[in-house]
């Protein structure tokens, strides 16, 4: 299938070109750092950013996109489910 955008350079403001399911873990990094997270079923999302800072997002609504570069979604404190990494 042709890709009209194959010659365009990827950017953080552009759409994701890859997605993967996220399993929260306090010990394991994501398979790759993400540009954003999609939260399918709402709740709290605790994560570590690519800079090493930790953050907890409370009351994230189902269907939300968190535009944060993260390398780990922490199991402790995360109640949201159906999380998808956007790269």
pTM check: above 0.85? yes
How many degrees, rounded to 5, is the angle at CA 41 between CA 38 and CA 75? 80
pLDDT at 79 > cutoff 90: yes
Residue 76 CB partners (closer than 8 Å, separation 6+): 26, 46
Q: What pLDDT is recorded for position 12?
A: 75
Strand partners for 80: none
pLDDT of 67-76, one tens digit each? 999 999 999 9
Question: Would you say residue 81 has pLDDT above 90?
Answer: yes
Please report, for the chain, the start and end positions of each structural domain, with discontinuous segments joined by +.
29-86
pLDDT in tens, 9-63: 777 778 898 999 999 999 999 999 999 999 999 999 999 999 999 999 999 999 9
């Amino acid at each position: 299938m042709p890709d009209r955008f194959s010659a365009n350079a990827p950017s953080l403001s552009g759409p994701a070109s890859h997605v993967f399911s996220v399993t929260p873990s306090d010990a394991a990094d994501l398979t790759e750092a993400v540009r954003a997270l999609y939260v399918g079923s709402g709740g709290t999302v605790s994560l570590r950013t690519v800079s090493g800072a930790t953050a907890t997002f409370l009351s994230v609504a189902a269907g939300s996109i968190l535009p944060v570069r993260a390398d780990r979604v922490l199991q402790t404190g995360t109640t949201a489910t159906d999380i998808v990494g956007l790269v």
